[in-house]
Amino acid sequence: MIESDPKPKRSSPHVEPLPSRAARPPQRRRGFKRWLLLFGALTLGIGAGATWLFAPESQDRLTPTEIEQRAAAFAKAPPLVLKAIPASELDRRLGEMQLAPVAQVELKQTLRASTAAAPDAAPAAKATPQAAARPDPASMRLVELTLWDSHAPDGDVVRIVSAGYSRDVMLQKQPVVVAVPVQGASIQIVGVRDGGGGITLGVQGSSTPMMMPIMSEGQTISLPVAP
């Protein structure tokens, strides 16, 4: 008798082994990295905020005594001596004055006419004091005026007004030299913008620097200039 083959054994289903704990994704480590990045961002934000809060003062800080001293010194100062711009530099300096083309041509003609008439003005020295006080139409000249912020450069702006010319200047620690037409014995300085603590303007011609009184917005001060 021939024995039949035994029943084939059922193969057990293939089951992948469960990953060990060591092979599992490092969830905790990823979370730690996220917290580390968040902590770094917060630290940078706090540092930037502290820098902004404790940054050096950017506004003028003057005591009442300093303000009074500047006003008193300005009242006693002699007229500012300004350097005349020579004829050889006239075209270049006129081009820097931010004038419209027509106004630039007109000012150039006036300055040249004034220069041509200067020799004839010598006998005027015998005129009466009242006549000498009146500005001579032929006495216009182009001069240099240096301006700067004597304290913190906080955005102070002044307007220079003289002989029909007007120009706004933002004050910086670095002096700015502007060309200004002068006709008479003074230049008008107008306070346009106060960056904080008052407009602190220093001016200079060809002589000793002069500190202007502390100005407010809209205030006008006459700057005496020498003939």
pLDDT digit string (tens) for 59-72? 778 899 999 999 99
Answer yes or no: is 100 within a domain. yes
Residue 126: inside a domain: no
Q: Is the pTM of this model over 0.75?
A: no
In a domain, 59, yes or no: no
In a domain, 162, yes or no: yes
pLDDT digits (tens, 9 = 90+) for 155-177: 999 999 999 999 999 999 999 99
Residue at 183 is within a domain: yes
Domain membership of residue 203 as a residue range: 64-121+131-224
For the chain, report the end-to-end CA distance as a whole number of angstroms. 147
Distances (CA, A) of 177 to 14, 16, 35, 58, 133: 91, 86, 56, 24, 28
31 assigned to some structural domain: no
